[in-house]
Every structure is written in structure tokens, then in C-alpha cells.
Structure 1
Amino acid sequence: MTWAGTAGAALVVLALVALVVLVLFAVRVRRLGRRIGSFECALRPVGRRDWTSGIAVFGVGRVDWYRLVSLSLRPTRTFAREDLEVRERTHRAAGGRDQVTEIRCCSQGEEFDLAMRRGSLAGLVSWLESAPPRGEPLV
């Protein structure tokens, strides 16, 4: 086989690998987005400027956050309901029903910001408030 033939074969293999990765990524995002209780949610550590896009999914007693650009099937972050606290809200200037709200949160002593649509925020706050009361167990 000539050098051109080898290079062409390598390019074909590389293109096939890229296509497989792209298909796997698309299937993962579609499956995450179609789960019951999933919503678009960006995350930013306090003090940083850039947001990381993701999809959050309500679980039993927790919210799992998946990085959007990833092939991992496991959540990047998990926030337990009893540890997650919403501290402050900032509404972005854009109007309309899909207005995005940024919230400052704290979980296990770590502060971070989440950004989501107003409807998703209402769902998150309702989910947090519907938690069983903390404190002494009833005897």
C-alpha cells in the first residue's frame, strides 16, 4: 500500500470514530433531556466567569447534574436535597416567558451558581420546600 493509501485509510478510520462519538453524544443528550424531571441548568463555581452547560435531573432526595458536553453516563455533580440551600436570586435582563434566573446555592459548604429558566427554578424551589422537615425524629 502506498503512503497516500495509508493516509486515506487512516482518515476514513478517524472519520468513522468521530461519527461514532458524535452519535453516542447525541443519544446521551437526548436520553438525559427526555428523563422525567430533567431541565437545562448551567453551573458556575463562585468566583469564575464562565458557565458550564448541563442537564439536571431530579432523583429521590437528590439532584443529579450532568455536563452537557461529555460522554459520561454518570452525573458530574450530585446535590442532596437536605444539603442544598438557595441563597439569592438574580433575574437576567432578557424578557419573555423563558427568562433565565441565576441562583447562588450552597451544598456541603461549597458555594456555586446555577442558571435555569424561571419555570425550572419554580420546580427546584418547590422540590426543596417539599422535603420532609429536618430535626428530631418523631417517636
Structure 2
Amino acid sequence: MNDLGFPFIALAAVFGLVVLTLCLFGVRRMMLRRALGTVDASISTAGNRWAMGVCRYQESDLEWVRLLSLSPLPAKTMKRTKIELIGRREPTEGELTRVPQGSVIVMLSYEGRDVLLAMKFGAYAGLSSWLEAGPHGSVGSWR
């Protein structure tokens, strides 16, 4: 092999891995959005950082899946019966650049901890309806 053969093969392999990874991100994103009960929602993490993701409604759980990850597992799972909807508000000046445009900030309480989700108003309406329609506490007792 000549002097350029090995670097070219290594560079082509790295480029192939980058393209494959981007394709996997795209397929994962399509699969997340095609499933019923999913909405785009950013979450406020430690240090008041916002991370983009997708919320998925399950029968008894609300799952939040990172957008920029290849893992099929949710990054955060909240039991439906332990979620308390505090309300909603408009993003502050500092949040406007960190959340999607046109979002409302949904304030939740989960096991005594505050959780902030940024989502479109229609998704907020769906979330509040899903929480109100669910069981409260034990099986057979409704809100």
C-alpha cells in the first residue's frame, strides 16, 4: 500500500461511522414521533439547563426520552399518580433562547420535586387532560 492508503481508509471509516450515526438518529426520531401519545417537550435539568426530548404517554407513566441519544430507554419516567400539575406560564427572557419558539412552560411537581417542561400549548392541553383522566392513588379510585 502506498503512503496515502491507510489514512484514506481510516478517514473513510470515520466518515462512514458519522453518516451511520446520523442515520440512526433520524430513524430513532421518526420512530419516536410516529408512536401514539408522543409530543415534543424540553425538560429543565439540574443547573437550570434545558434538554430537548420527547414525552411519551403510557397507561400509568409519563416518559421523557432524550432527543440527542441513541438509547431506546427513557431518561426520566414519572408515575401518573404521583404527578401534580401546578400550572403553566410563559417563558422568561432567559428561557426564550433555550426553549422552542411558541412554547409554554408547564410546572409539575413529582415526588416533592419541581419539574419544568417546555411544550406547545396543544401538548399542554393534552397533558392536563391525561392527568385529569387518570386514576388517583389506588386502582378504582378516580379523581
TM bucket, shorter chain: 0.7 to 0.9
Question: Identity, % of aligned pairs?
Answer: 29
Task: Give the equivalent residue in structure 1 for 2:61.
Answer: 62
In the alignment, structure 1 residue 23 sits paired with structure 2 residue 23: yes
Counterpart selection for 1:110 from 110, 113, 123: 113
SS in 1 for 2:36: coil
Paired residues in the alignment total 134
Aligned residue identity for 1:66: V
TM-score by length of 1: 0.86
- Residue 2 and residue 120 in structure 1: after superposition, are their counterparts in 2 closer, same or farther (change >3 A)? same
State the Cα RMSD in Å.
2.2
Any conservation in 1 of the 2:104–2:119 contact (CA below 8 Å)? yes
How far the C-alpha of 1:99 sits from its partner, in A, is 3.4
Structure 1 residues 9 and 83: CA distance shift in structure 2, 3 A: same
Residue identity in the other structure for 1:52:
A
1:45 is matched with which residue? 45
Q: Which residue of 2 aligns with 1:125?
A: 128
1:130/1:71 CA distance change after superposition, 3 Å: same
The two structures have a TM-score, normalised by structure 2, of 0.84
- Between 1:124-133 and 1:98-107, the stretch displaced more is 98-107
- Structure 1's unaligned 5+ residue stretches are none
**Alignment partner, residue 76 of structure 1:** 75
Assess, with a 3 A threshold, how the Cα gap between structure 1 residues 110 and 92 changes in structure 2: closer, same or farther: closer
Contact 2:105-2:117 at 8 Å conserved across structures: yes
TM superposition outliers: structure 1 runs of 4+ over 3 Å: 133-138
Gaps of 5+ in 2: none
